[in-house]
Structure 1
Amino acid sequence: MARFDRYLLSQLMVLFGFFALVLVLVFWINGAVRIFDRLIGDGQSAMLFLEFSALTLPNVIRTILPIASFAAAVYVTNRLSSESELVVMQATGFSPWRLARPVLVFGLLVGLMMSVMTHLLVPVSLAQLKQREQAVAENVTAQLLVEGTFTHPSSGVTFYIRQIDTDGTLNDVFLSDRSNPLKPQTFTADKAYLVNGADEEAGEPPDPKLVMIDGLSQSYQVETQHLFTTHFNDFAYDLSAMLGSGSPPGPDVRAMPSWMLMAQPGEVERISGQSAGRIADELHGRFQQALMCAVSALIGFSTLLVGGFSRFGVWRQVVAAVLLLVLLKIVESVIVDPVRDDARLWPLIYLPIVLGLGISMAQLAWSGRARRVAPPGGETGAEVTPT
């Protein structure tokens, strides 16, 4: 590469790394706060919170890569323009197409990073995250076995344990079930045990039950306003509906590898329960996201190049570049539903890429157009065509 290409590419990569780091931290911390509130509030450990946060990181990086490439291209182009470096390079014979070459190389490098994320890291992390979420959902101990704290494992249900012995005995148990507002129930027991009523060797899904010993059941009839109480020696309360246990849902298309989406679309449709359009949108969307990184960088560079040098800055071009990127994202969101309804419309997924490349090429051509320079004291001008 020429010295100028290496110089511009190095500037773009440095600024891209800075913007990517800042944006990843902002997005990741925002998501980590919600994960922390959900997991720690349910009595999970800090290590599980760190694991969940790490598994969400690839998807966060995938989201911010096009934004970071666009921001780096705009910032570097603005700085080169304000310091007249672009003017000097154009005066030496560099055309806008020649100036855009390192920007294109930069966009392709970022697109390569995006391809690694979309085709490899993101599906693997989403698959692992779903497995861990399913394991946590089936972990009755993590949801219920909290000493001295009123927990709410589901809507309308309150559970309390005074003390848990080392052998798993629950002492002084309180359970309030208000899921049926017409017939709320309350159970208290001196001791209780958590047991699994399913046959694990037969591969049955977990069927957790709470067996209470020496307790009292209170059932209130709202219509008649009568309270019925029953003393029992032992009573089994089914926790399956309350904890949402049962057979796990089908695999998520987003967590499947790209080779499987390409080679076995019919099998993916069968095991996931998703339509052919949804599968096509996911597969081609992974390629489209990589190309969008290059298009975003070219949009930012070409839009600022149109304005040329100005002592008042290029803030209008920056606003125009942002609006053009927003326009591409709007087009991208509009074509999602038609493709998901009809898989044969998958070429529409690449419409934002074609539109973005067309806009960039038009702006580069406009930047290299022939300009008329009026001579001193003359009314007509001579054409000067930059090379």
Structure 2
Amino acid sequence: MRGVVTYIMRQIAWPLGFATLTLTGVIWLTQSLRFIDRIVNNNLAFNDFFYLTLLVLPSIVAIILPVAGFCATLYAFHRLASDSEVVVLSAAGFSRLSLARPAVIISAGVMVVMYAILLYLMPLGSRTLRATQYEFRNDLAGMAILEGVFNTPTANLTVYVRERDSNGDMLGVLVHDNRNSASPVTMLAERATLLRTPQGPRLYMVKGNRQQIDGEHKSLSLLYFDNYSLDLDSYAQKEGQAWREPSERYLHELFKPDMKNPDDVQHYAKLIVEGHRRLVTPLYAPALILIAIASVIGGEFNRRGQGQRLVLGAAFAILLQVLSLSVTQLAVKTLALIPLMYAVPVLAIAAAALALREPILRASPRPA
């Protein structure tokens, strides 16, 4: 018995790993494209780009694992059935539920991994990603300023550079400060350099002038300078006490929001439903895996092949995912529907287990 369980688990494990890596890689690449613009604008290294995309992985893996488990189990049991191994094992006395036991063990492992991701790794990655993006976004000293282009590193600052010399210094610099639209400031300099200092990023300009328009008196003030230091830290977008998204919160923060915070009060239903969603989502791993098994070996044996069974199993899996999304959206509007979030995967598990029951053999009547 133990040898059979190990054999079937191996048949499921390697397709599961392959499907998880493949699907995760594809989605990871598509998600990483949204960081390209930030990498170019902030002149970041490849290590920074890889670190940002790595922080997205937990949320991707949490979505991929149940689907990968379904695909791997469907493939493994279809192969066992095609090679008549299921028939041989059944003839040796193995019931359908016994054959499903290795997949159930794997689904339990998948559930544990998903709980670790959803309850800890995903919120940790989301809040770290937000803090890192904020840091890179406000690193004005490392911003990439293109020559001959009006660069806007922030909403209130425009920088134009005619060219750069061999040392990296900027020549022919124009800086326009529009934080106060009624009194904008324009600075011109022959040469400028971006530097990081303990006090924050600075733009050191040499031989230029500073022009400021007084909107109230309709006058222009002009100041010539040999050296001028512009504090870029004042242009940075301060994060302050920004509201944490549900994906950035741990489970206890979702179930116990700060009712003194108006944003938490406004999104109370969304926070509660997100907490229950993290508890429910791992249950879809055994549900989908049992559906895959039931679609292959459940019901009566069909000599014409299993094409229809596979299509039907895939249809049930898609329907289950659609029901999951629909019930979650309804629960946000009506918290009384939260029990339905648990009912959907539990009923799917019960229905799949029911389909794996052995057929009841009725005794034929004795001849008179």
The two structures have a TM-score, normalised by structure 2, of: 0.78
Task: Give unpaired runs (5+ residues) of structure 1.
Answer: 201-205, 220-227, 373-380
Q: 1:272 to 1:108 in 2, by over 3 A?
A: farther
Q: 1:342: how far off? A: 3.9
State the alpha-carbon separation in 1 of the partners of residues 16 and 260 from structure 2: 38
Q: For 1:71 and 1:214, locate their aligned partners in 2 and report how far apart those are by CA, in whole Å.
A: 66
Q: In structure 1, what residue type is equivalent to 2:45?
A: S
Residues 186-195 or 346-355, more deviating? 186-195
**Contact 2:134–2:239 under 8 Å retained in 1:** no
Cross-structure match for 2:13: 13
Asked if 1:331 corresponds to 2:330, the answer is: no
Deviates more, 1:270-279 or 1:47-56: 270-279
**1:348 and 2:347 are equivalent in the alignment:** no
- CA distance in 2 between partners of 1:269 and 1:328 (Å): 38
Cα separation, 2, equivalents of 1:3 and 1:193: 70
Of 255, 261, 264, which residue of structure 1 is paired with 2:248?
A: 255
Contact 1:156/1:177, CA 8 A, preserved across alignment:
yes
Match in the other structure for 1:376 = none
Q: Name the structure 1 match of 2:296.
A: 304
Alpha-carbon distance in 2 for matches of 1:317, 1:159: 63
For 1:201-225, what per-residue CA distance to the aligned partner results, in whole angstroms no more than 9, with x for missing partners?
xxxxx9x997977348699xxxxxx
Matches within 5 A, 1:146-165: 146=145, 148=147, 150=149, 151-153=151-153, 159-161=159-161, 162-163=163-164
The whole-number CA distance in structure 1 between the counterparts of 2:165 and 2:241 is 30
Look up the match of 1:135.
135
Matched residue of 1:335: which SS?
A: helix
What is the SS of the residue equivalent to 1:267?
coil
Partner of 1:378: none
What SS class does the counterpart of residue 174 from structure 1 fall into?
Answer: strand
1:251 and 1:272 in contact (8 A); partners too: no
Q: Distance in 2 between matches of 1:100 and 1:246?
A: 51
Alignment of 1:1-387 (within 5 A): 2-143=2-143, 146=145, 148=147, 150=149, 151-153=151-153, 159-161=159-161, 162-163=163-164, 171-175=171-175, 188-190=188-190, 214-215=208-209, 232-233=223-224, 244-245=237-238, 247-262=240-255, 265-267=256-258, 270=261, 273=264, 275-306=267-298, 312-365=304-357, 368-370=358-360
Unaligned runs of at least 5 residues, structure 2 = 214-218
Distance in 2 separating the partners of 1:70 and 1:189 = 64
The one-letter code of the counterpart of 1:251 is R
Q: Residue 208 of structure 2 aligns to which amino acid in structure 1?
A: D
Aligned equivalent of 1:375? none
Cα distance in 1 for partners of 2:43, 2:274 equals: 35
C-alpha separation in 2, matches of 1:338 and 1:95:
39
Q: Which whole-Å CA distance do the structure 2 matches of 1:66 and 1:82 have between them?
A: 24
Distance 2:293 2:250 in 1: 34
Work out whether residues 277 and 328 of structure 2, in 8 Å CA contact, stay in contact via their aligned partners in 1.
Answer: no
Match of 1:222 in 2: none
After superposition, the Cα gap between the structure-2 partners of 1:271 and 1:170, relative to the gap in structure 1 and judged at 3 Å, is farther
> What is the distance in 2 between the residues matched to 1:141 and 1:334?
46
CA–CA separation in structure 2 for the residues paired with 1:323 and 1:79: 20
Contact 1:215–1:231 (Cα < 8 Å) also in 2: yes
Preserved contact between residue 261 and residue 268 of structure 1 (Cα < 8 Å) = no
For residues 188 and 62 of structure 1, do their structure 2 counterparts lie closer, same or farther at Cα, with a shift above 3 Å needed?
same
* CA shift for structure 1 position 49: 0.6
> How far apart are residue 22 of structure 1 and its match?
1.3
CA contact (8 A) 1:214 1:231 kept: no
Q: In 2, Cα distance between the equivalents of 1:347 and 1:164?
A: 66
User: For the Cα contact (< 8 Å) 1:147–1:163, is it kept in 2?
Assistant: no
CA RMSD of aligned residues (A): 4.1
AA at the equivalent of 1:75: Y
Deviations, residues 350-377 of structure 1 (Å, cap 9, x unaligned): 1321232233134224xx33479xxxxx
1:173–1:191 Cα contact (<8 Å) kept: yes
CA contact (8 A) 1:58 1:117 kept: yes
Q: How far did 1:25 drift?
A: 1.5
Deviation at 1:53, TM superposition (A): 1.5
TM-score of the pair, normalised by structure 1: 0.75
* Alpha-carbon distance, 1:87 to partner: 1.4
Deviation, 1:261, is 3.5
Tell me which moved more, 23-32 or 234-243: 234-243
Task: Give me the whole-angstrom Cα distance separating, in 1, the residues matched to 2:41 and 2:158.
Answer: 14
Structure 1 residue 41, shift from structure 2 partner: 4.1
Inter-partner Cα distance in structure 1 for 2:35 and 2:173: 29
CA distance, structure 2, for counterparts of residue 236 and residue 76 of structure 1: 67
CA distance, structure 1, for counterparts of residue 336 and residue 62 of structure 2: 26
Figure out how many residues of one structure are paired with residues of the other and give that number.
Answer: 351
CA distance in 2: counterparts of 1:70 and 1:268, whole angstroms: 40
How far off is 1:173 after superposition? 1.5
**CA, structure 1 residues 38+139, in 2 after alignment: closer, same or farther (shift >3 Å)?**
closer
SS in structure 2 of the partner of residue 153 of structure 1: strand
